[in-house]
Every structure is written in C-alpha cells, then in structure tokens.
Amino acid sequence: MSVNVPRKSSNLLKRRLKIAEIVSTQGEIKVDDLSAQLGVSGVTIRGDLSYLEQQGCLKRSFGGAISTPPHPVEPESTPHVTPPLAQQMEIARHCARLIRHRDTLFLGHGVVCRKIIPLLSEVKKLRLITNDPEHALLANQFIDGEIILAGSEMLRPETVLAGKSLEQALSHYAITHSILEIGAIDTDGTLHGHMPELASAWQHCFDRAQNNTVIVTADSASARTPVGHLASAENVIVCRTLNEQYHPQLHDADFVILYTSSECFTWSHRERLQQ
C-alpha cells in the first residue's frame, strides 16, 4: 500500500514533543499550567493530550495529565522490556539525526521506532517503508512523501506484518537507511531479535541497505533469534544503562561515539564516518 501525504505542522509537532517532555519530567501537570507555559488555549492543550495519550506518551487525568508509569517486568509472561519514555524519546532524536532528505527508510516495528516518526516531519521527500500498521497510520500525519506498508501475514500479538511481500519490498526499493530494534549483541557480534518469522527479512535488510542502524533495547532475555551481525551495522544506539556493557565490544569493533546525551549513546563505525 502506498499513499502520498502532506507534512504536519512543525509547530504542532514541537509543542506536542514539549508537552511529552514536561509531563515526563514533572510527573503530573494541569492543563492551565501547560496553556500558560506554551501560550496556547486550554482546548488546544486538551487535544494535544488526547493525541499523546493515544501514542502511549502519558495518561489523561482530571484537569491535566500524568506520566505513564513503568510496567513491572515478569519475564515468563511479558516478552519485552520497554525502555522508559525519556530514553525512548532521546533514542528517537538520535535516530532522526541520521535521516536525510530523499532517503528511502525502512523502519522496523517497535515502540521506540514509532517515536522516531513525528521527528521526521521536516525531512523532505522521504519514502518510508514499514511492516508495522501503527507506524503507517502515524506516518500519515507527519511524513512528507511516500508511505509503504509491506507484508501480507499478520503476526500476533505484536500485530506486525511478515511474509514474502515484505522481502519483495525490501528487494524492490533501494533502501538508503534501515532502523531496527534488536534485543542483544552476542560477544561474537551476532545481533539477536525477538521474532523468528522476521529473521529472514531483517537479514535481507542488513544485506541490501546502504546504512543500517540498530537500537539495542533491554530485551536480551527474550532475544533469541539471530538477525544479522555487528559488521553489517553502521550505527548502534544504546541507552546509558547498556552502554557500559557494550562499550568494550563496540570499541574493539572500531565504532566511535557520534552523539551522546544523558539518556543514550550513538556509536558509528569509524570507516563509515571517513567516507
């Protein structure tokens, strides 16, 4: 499926990102306070809060909003560990910096990858390919360019698409950049994901994309599917809590820190930086 869509207002995007940041930092805030801080009406703020609640960035409360609490992790019943919202937003910002005008981007499924989409509203003539229907719906509001939802078989409970048509799309288009969430990097450099049904498509992506960025989440307990190798990645993004674990390995593999912040690190392969 392919549709052309206009860009969403950058002022709207910036305001909503600012609201998400304020709520995450303060924990709770009233509509009137947000209205005063951002200089817009309470009606506008309520609309922003409704949108951000739909995206899982916060929860509405009486007269305001509260931050979304982290969910307790039960390894036997909960297969994935989601990074805190502040880390998700900062990782998304790091990823968005890597995307250029007229790129053909394959964006894999996952809640962290979804946070990248609004940050791409200023990228001109972007072609976005994804196997996540929720990504496509969100991109329809923000992306200036073509949106391609690829895949024919629904995988549950994640509700992402797989199948031969996904691999065909990855073969048909000249992908300039791919961004994928993985759970772990083995000591031998093997990249591990969570869904065996997508392993072939992910490997296809690593083989064909000009640039591959992997986001390493704290999902190592459930990441048991080899999907590629560190040698195929140009960029690796890890949160601060994981950076100590992977720092020696990335350094030995000739990666250097490209961006850093209070929440995460972006490592890039030295050879790629010199091109």
pLDDT in tens, 69-117: 644 433 333 344 567 888 888 999 999 999 999 999 999 999 999 999 9
pTM summary value: 0.74
Q: Which CATH number do you get for residue 204?
A: 3.40.50.1360
The pLDDT, as a whole number, for residue 82 is: 64
Buried b (16+ CB within 10 A) or exposed e, 29-44: bebeebbeebeeeeeb
The pLDDT, as a whole number, for residue 4 is: 38
The domain containing residue 137 runs over which residues? 85-273
Question: In terms of DSSP bridges, do strands 177-182 and 104-107 run parallel, antiparallel, or are they unpaired?
Answer: parallel
CB-based burial label for 220 (10 Å; 0-12, 13-18, 19+): middle
Residues 235 and 112 in one domain: yes
pLDDT in tens, 154-187: 888 778 999 989 999 999 999 999 999 999 999 9
Answer positive or negative: Cα dihedral of 105, 111, 117, 119. negative
Residues 47 and 7 in one domain: yes
Residues 128 and 227 in one domain: yes
- Whole-number mean pLDDT of the chain? 85
Number of domains in the chain: 2
Confidence of residue 1 (pLDDT cuts 50, 70, 90): very low
Residues 21 and 150 in one domain: no
Residues 124 and 51 in one domain: no
Lowest mean pLDDT among 16-30, 39-53, 211-225: 211-225
